[in-house]
């Protein structure tokens, strides 16, 4: 058993002996191996909890408390807010959020001995799980807040689909879309941005469809028409200008074919 020769002087703490020994203890007629550590005062301290033993030792009248790291946990301080943190050695080298300031830090390698002087925050699996749940809730809340705004504003794109027999002019201006029918039968089974539309007609001009996002292109040259379906022609007849009250006119022409057919296009700006 190691001893410390203090010579009347106060021993220096913490004192960690390199040898960790086990002693045989006969208790209730059963042999049990109990892990212990030897203090420089020849006192034997039994390790009651896995990982850390807190021992009170008195040498030459001193009453020192010290922590001896054995296996499981260690303590360090946050480099941002200086808060002391206690965590499992499996987190060494990983990035975590400080429980105090919430900044991202890297858990340092496990030291051999740490003697904290300030209260430490212990990171448990449940704490990390709660932090993950909170982060997920924040992300979901941000999405919920942004979703109505996105739905209200809508994308800078419009889709149109109709069953056309003849020629029709689809017009967009501001928050309105309407059709000016030219020849043959009125278009039917129409959808605007995948929403069914069955407008009322007055002298071959339909009641306007109200757009969620107003058609106000910054530059008419940025308007792009994409024909997605139709046996005839889909083309821009007129671009927005002050002369036509900033109206885009798109011609859907099925006039050269017998019967009706599906036509579909997309406009982006």
Distances (CA, A) of 220 to 85, 213, 245: 59, 17, 13
Contact 156, 268 (CB under 8 A): yes
Average pLDDT score over residue span 54-70 = 40
Q: pLDDT for 211-254, tens place per residue?
A: 999 999 989 999 999 999 999 999 999 999 999 999 999 999 99
**pTM of this prediction?**
0.46
Q: pLDDT for 108-119, tens place per residue?
A: 987 654 444 555
Q: By mean pLDDT, which of 42-46, 61-65, 253-257 is the weakest?
A: 61-65
Sign (positive or negative) of CA dihedral 49, 54, 56, 60: positive
Q: By mean pLDDT, which of 25-29, 81-85, 184-188 is the weakest?
A: 25-29
Query: What's the helix, strand, coil split of the chain in %, to 5?
Result: 15, 45, 40
The Cα 76–Cα 79 span in angstroms is 9
């Amino acid at each position: 058993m190691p001893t410390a020769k203090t010579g009347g002087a106060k021993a220096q703490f913490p004192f960690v002996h390199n040898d960790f020994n086990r002693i045989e203890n006969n208790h209730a007629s059963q042999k049990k191996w109990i892990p212990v550590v030897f203090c420089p005062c020849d006192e034997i301290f039994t390790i009651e909890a896995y990982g850390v033993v807190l021992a009170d030792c008195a040498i030459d009248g001193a009453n020192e408390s010290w922590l001896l790291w054995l296996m499981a946990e260690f303590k360090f301080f946050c480099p941002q807010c200086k808060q002391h943190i206690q965590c499992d050695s499996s987190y060494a080298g990983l990035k975590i959020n400080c429980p105090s300031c919430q900044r991202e830090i890297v858990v340092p390698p496990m030291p051999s001995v740490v003697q904290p002087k300030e209260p430490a925050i212990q990171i448990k699996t449940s704490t990390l799980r709660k932090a993950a749940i909170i982060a997920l809730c924040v992300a979901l809340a941000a999405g919920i807040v942004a979703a109505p705004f996105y739905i209200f504003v809508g994308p800078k794109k419009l889709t149109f689909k109709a069953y056309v027999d003849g020629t029709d002019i689809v017009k967009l201006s501001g928050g309105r879309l309407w059709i000016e029918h030219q020849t043959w039968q009125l278009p039917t089974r129409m959808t605007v941005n995948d929403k069914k539309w069955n407008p009322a007609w007055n002298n071959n001009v339909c009641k306007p469809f109200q757009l969620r996002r107003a058609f106000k292109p910054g530059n008419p040259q940025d308007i792009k028409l994409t024909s997605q379906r139709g046996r005839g022609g889909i083309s821009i007849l007129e671009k927005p200008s002050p002369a036509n009250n900033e109206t885009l006119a798109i011609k859907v022409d099925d006039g050269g074919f017998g019967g009706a057919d599906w036509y579909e296009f997309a406009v982006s700006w």
